[in-house]
Amino acid sequence: MAQQANTQNNEAEKTVRDYQMVQEQLRMATMQLEQLQVQKAELSRAKDEVSVSGGKVYITVGGVIVETTKDKALADIKEKAELADVRVASLNKQLTELKSREKQLGEKITQLYKQGQ
């Protein structure tokens, strides 16, 4: 009987640790998603500015500012925006999976708690 209670306690502790780890992963993924959304907004503003620009266009390359053509700058912005879109989609998928895992672990913790009473 005592061994069974000990096994349940170990399982409960492991489940709680897993739950906390999933919550931390959710927090980190949410922060990354927010950063990407800010980056996408900046890229959108940059695209708008470059599109209406009639003068010279400059970009930063490795910490150095260099002159470029409007077309090259727009292509660079488009490429960065596409990469950000792919990363956003990947993070959204990861968030969905993590939320599902969090729900499962929460239900398991509740079940283990009820069994312990």
Question: Residue 51 belongs to what domain range?
Answer: 2-116
Give the CA angle between residues 41, 45, 49 to the nearest 5°: 170
Lowest mean pLDDT among 1-10, 32-41, 47-56, 69-78: 1-10
CA distance 100 to 15: 15
Q: Which two tokens stand for residue 53?
A: 């620009």
Count of alpha carbons within 13 angstroms of residue 101, beta-carbon side: 18
The half-sphere exposure of 78 on its side-chain side, counting CA atoms within 13 A, is 7
60: Cβ contacts below 8 Å, ≥ 6 apart: 66
pLDDT reading at 10 higher than 90: no
> In the prediction, which pLDDT does 117 show?
65
Percent of the chain scored above 90 by pLDDT?
Answer: 75
- Give 78's contacts (C-beta < 8 A, 6+ positions apart): 47
Instruction: Report pLDDT for 56.
Output: 87
What is the reported pTM?
0.80
Q: What is the domain-level CATH number for residue 39?
A: 1.10.287.370
Question: How many domains are contained in the chain?
Answer: 1
